[in-house]
């Protein structure tokens, strides 16, 4: 017996089938004590055996475009995303870096990616995630102690 999917689930399945991935955009509502904006991929493990990707701290439409550009660069270069990798074609004039994303945060924040894995018959513990981080206006990434504090804060996920 096949699983009956709701509209959002079917959209995710259809996007992965058509584009190779689906984007989930998450944003805080006004008045939320912690303002969080992020977007992440669903289905990259299924289509490419890649980790899912997440990017934080900017407007959700921008985050979707950055993820799309990162996937395009990786695909065009024939490379598999790995921690520490620098991507230069994500946004004109700015390098981006891939870093490890916490497994505990994955289970907190990447529910759709884990749902999709289960839906496709994968063990969700197989799914990994890399965070796409962007530099401050001086080219310093969030792990640099001299990175502008607001840039670091925007890209540091909060644990519940």
Residue 91 has pLDDT above 60, yes or no: yes
Q: What is the pLDDT of residues 104-122, one digit of tens each?
A: 888 788 899 999 999 999 9
User: How far apart, in whole angstroms, are the C-alpha atoms of residue 136 and residue 141?
Assistant: 6
Q: What is the pLDDT of residues 32-62, one digit of tens each?
A: 655 578 999 999 999 999 999 999 999 888 9
Kindly report the pTM of this predicted structure: 0.93
User: How far apart, in whole angstroms, are the C-alpha atoms of residue 26 and residue 13?
Assistant: 18
Q: What is the pLDDT of residue 1?
A: 47
Sequence-distant (6+) residues with CB within 8 A of 120 are 46
Please state, in angstroms and as integers, the Cα–Cα distance from residue 87 to each residue in 1, 5, 37, 61, following that order.
43, 36, 22, 19
Domain range summary for the chain, segments of one domain joined by +: 7-154
Contact indicator for 109, 54 with CB cutoff of 8 Å: yes
Which residues are paired to 42 by β-bridges? 22
Percent of the chain whose predicted confidence (pLDDT) is above 70: 93
């Amino acid at each position: 017996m096949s699983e009956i999917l709701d509209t959002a689930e079917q959209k995710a399945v259809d996007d992965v089938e058509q584009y190779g991935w689906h984007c989930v955009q998450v944003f805080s509502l006004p008045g939320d004590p912690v303002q969080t904006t992020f977007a992440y991929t669903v289905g990259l493990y299924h289509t490419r055996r890649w980790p899912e990707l997440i990017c934080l701290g900017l407007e959700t439409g921008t985050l979707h475009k950055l993820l799309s550009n990162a996937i395009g660069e990786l695909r065009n270069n024939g490379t598999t995303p790995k921690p520490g990798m620098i991507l230069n074609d994500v946004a004109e004039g700015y390098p981006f870096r891939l870093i490890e994303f916490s497994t505990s945060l994955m289970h907190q924040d990447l529910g759709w990616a884990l749902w999709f894995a289960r839906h496709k018959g994968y063990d969700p513990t197989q799914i990994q995630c890399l965070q796409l981080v962007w530099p401050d206006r001086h080219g310093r990434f969030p792990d640099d102690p001299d990175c502008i504090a607001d840039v670091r804060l925007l890209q540091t996920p909060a644990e519940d």
